[in-house]
Amino acid sequence: MTLATAFRLVATAMVAYLVADLLRTGPPPLLAPLTALLIVQVTAYQTVTSSIQRIASVTVGVLLAVLIAGPLGFHWWTLGLVIALALLVGRMFRLGDHTLEVPISAMLILGLPTESAALGRVVETLIGAGVGLASTLLTAPVKVKPAEDALRGLAMDMGQFLEDLADDLHLEPDHAHTTRWQGQAARLSEKARDVAARLGEADDSTRLNPRALRIGGPSAPLRTAMSTLEAATIKIRGLARCMADRTYLHLRDGSGLGSDMWATDVRGELSLTLRTLSRALPLYAATATAPSAESGRRLGQTTHELLVEARQHRERLGRLLRDDPGHWPLHGELLVHIDRLLDGLAPSELGFRPVLY
């Protein structure tokens, strides 16, 4: 929990208590700050949903306690009856995590001396929910920038991984290299899922949030880039797997099938292809999150030029592999992974049209 969040929770609870105390709902009106603390969520949309569910659960619990224990009195069996009915009603109304608050509210009311005291509890709940909702609407952050930062961080990590792959090709790779490749590729996939979750949080943070009218929500290029990079981590993982398979074959068949797979010229051209792609990835993410159309066009043009250069290296790599009598299905798989990476990173998919020379 951040310091800002903690301060917001304390301030919200204090305001809820002061409002309830001013209206003299009960001595002391602790249900109001309790409700405010329980319903304040990260986003405005979540807070509204939580407020509705909590108000419904408290109100239903109070009504059950008044309607059943009022005429029948408070006994052990009326307590059990109220709890059973409260759980049943909470399930019927699909109150989710707030289902248990129905019997809890009912039990709190059973110990009150009058119906006016029970009404005071409902009013306190309404006050707490209202204050919590107002606090969230006024202060809930719009989480678009954290999502953009996370996307750029993912692209940087992906680019660094491709750079590491290229570094490992200065000599013939071995089992230690292949193990590291696959571990790093798996971690990239996990990070991509985390970044996708950040984008979901950004979407939630703009729903019912007045501040989103000024700041705006996640842009179409951001959404497209997230989908592209998420898919690219799968392609990179396949590329690492393919390079590992090439290494296993070469280590197993040093003088037979696949003996030329890691020849110096093949490793050199593949290394150049990966290095160029590693520079294009962060620029692609920067294009998607550019603060202005002009900077987006400039970054998109640079990304396009790097992709053109990467395609040239890929074509030379393809010619070298065609001359290699080794394991041709593996050659094709390697080239397909690279082609899909190149196609997916086209800045035109983000709405920026590069200048063609």
| Helix or strand holding residue 224 (H, E) | helix 220-252
| End position of a domain, from candidates 139, 172, 190 | 139
Domain count, the chain: 2
Give the pLDDT score at 316.
93
Give the pLDDT score at 259.
56
**What's the CA gap between 194 and 198, in Å, rounded?**
6
The verdict on 105 and 235 lying in the same domain is no
| End position of a domain, from candidates 104, 139, 174 | 139
Whether pLDDT at 172 is above 90: no
Whether pLDDT at 80 is above 70: yes
Residue 101 makes CB contacts below 8 A (sequence gap 6+) with 54, 57, 58, 61, 90, 95
Give the pLDDT score at 153.
95
The verdict on 133 and 255 lying in the same domain is no
Whether pLDDT at 185 is above 70: yes
**pLDDT tens, residue by residue, 46-75:** 777 777 777 777 777 777 777 776 677 777
**What's the CA gap between 50 and 56, in Å, rounded?**
10
Q: Other CB atoms closer than 10 Å to residue 338's CB: what's the count?
A: 23
Give the domain extent around 223.
Answer: 144-350
* From 17-21, 55-59, 156-160, 315-319, the region with the lowest mean pLDDT: 55-59
The verdict on 127 and 151 lying in the same domain is no
* DSSP assignment letter at 356: P
* From 5-19, 119-133, 210-224, the region with the lowest mean pLDDT: 210-224
Q: Is residue 355 part of a domain?
A: no
| End position of a domain, from candidates 94, 111, 139 | 139
Q: Other CB atoms closer than 10 Å to residue 190's CB: what's the count?
A: 10
Q: Is residue 180 part of a domain?
A: yes
User: Of the segments 65-79, 82-96, 177-191, 238-252, which one has the largest average pLDDT value?
Assistant: 177-191
Q: Which of 235, 265, 231, 229 is nearest to 336 (CA)?
A: 235
Angle, vertex CA 231, rays to CA 226 and CA 232, nearest 5: 95
The verdict on 127 and 154 lying in the same domain is no
Whether pLDDT at 103 is above 90: no
User: Of the segments 21-30, 56-65, 192-201, 229-238, which one has the largest average pLDDT value?
Assistant: 229-238
Q: What is the mean pLDDT of residues 95-103?
A: 76
Give the pLDDT score at 357.
55
Better pLDDT: 335 or 348: 335
**pLDDT tens, residue by residue, 204-251:** 777 766 666 666 667 888 889 999 999 999 999 999 998 888 888 777
Better pLDDT: 122 or 164: 164
The verdict on 178 and 325 lying in the same domain is yes
Q: Is residue 219 part of a domain?
A: yes
Q: Can you read off the two tokens belonging to residue 322? A: 């065609």
The verdict on 236 and 131 lying in the same domain is no
Give the pLDDT score at 228.
92
The CATH number assigned to the domain holding 293 equals: 1.20.58
pLDDT band at 276 (very low <50, low <70, confident <90, very high): very high
The verdict on 91 and 51 lying in the same domain is yes
User: Of the segments 2-11, 140-149, 190-199, which one has the largest average pLDDT value?
Assistant: 190-199
For the entire predicted model, the pTM comes to 0.70
Return the residue matching tokens 């997916």: 344
Q: What is the mean pLDDT of residues 79-98?
A: 80
Residue 239 makes CB contacts below 8 A (sequence gap 6+) with 165, 334, 337, 338, 341
Q: What is the mean pLDDT of residues 168-184?
A: 87
Helix (H, G, I), strand (E, B) or coil at 59: helix
